[in-house]
Amino acid sequence: MGTIRNIVLAWVFCLSQHGLAQESTPIAWDVSRKLAWEDFKGKPFKTAWAAATTASGISYEYTGRETKGGYELEFSVGAYFYPEKSWYQPHLCDALVLSHEQLHFDISELFARKLRKQLVAARFTKNAKAEVQEIYNRVLLELNAYQSRYDQETNYSRYPDKQLEWNRKIGDALANSAGLP
């Protein structure tokens, strides 16, 4: 079959929004760059309960070639924040709310690491495209469930003690690169 060149780009947005953000450049997760309110460029939904929304997610792309034993793939996996789909209401927000939003982005990074690890460990056949998508879909379901659990346990940052607990837990997981707590 020769060389296979597949590039697959899959975007997912967490929380209450799903869609593509084409208006501005996504911000790649970086340990040395924390979100600031100026990064939130979307228009707020006027609701009684929502102070802010972070649109973040994971993406991947890969290239591959056929080998004697199957298919060898090289991956690029990342976590991204989408400014145009993220918003906040200044009168409802403070540093604790910003830390809550940052953690959504950090959780996306943890799951990007998980996806990367699973993709590197996998063996692929001539059905590599479907096999990669299956792994991505599994990790994506876990990511969405974890983001929901985070929001529920912190009540969207309204439980300060729980928020600080999650900040420590996710911070430790990122620092240790050992995976999810």
- The pLDDT value recorded for residue 82 is 98
Rg of the chain (C-alpha set): 18
| DSSP assignment string, 88-117 | E-GGG--HHHHHHHHHHHHHHHHHHHHHHH
pTM of the model: 0.84
Q: What is the pLDDT of residue 48?
A: 61
Four-CA torsion 55, 137, 33, 40, nearest 10 degrees: -10
Residues 58-85: tens digit of each pLDDT: 999 999 998 887 789 999 999 999 999 9
Query: Residue 66: its pLDDT value, please?
Result: 87
Matching residue, tokens 């540093």: 95
What b/e readout covers 73-104, taking b as 16+ CB neighbours within 10 angstroms?
Answer: beeebbbbbbbbbbbbbeeebeeebbbbbbbb
pLDDT in tens, 109-153: 999 999 999 999 999 988 999 999 999 999 999 999 999 999 999
The answer to whether residue 18 scores a pLDDT higher than 50 is no
Looking at every residue in the chain, the average pLDDT score rounds to 86
Please say if the pLDDT value at position 42 is more than 60: yes
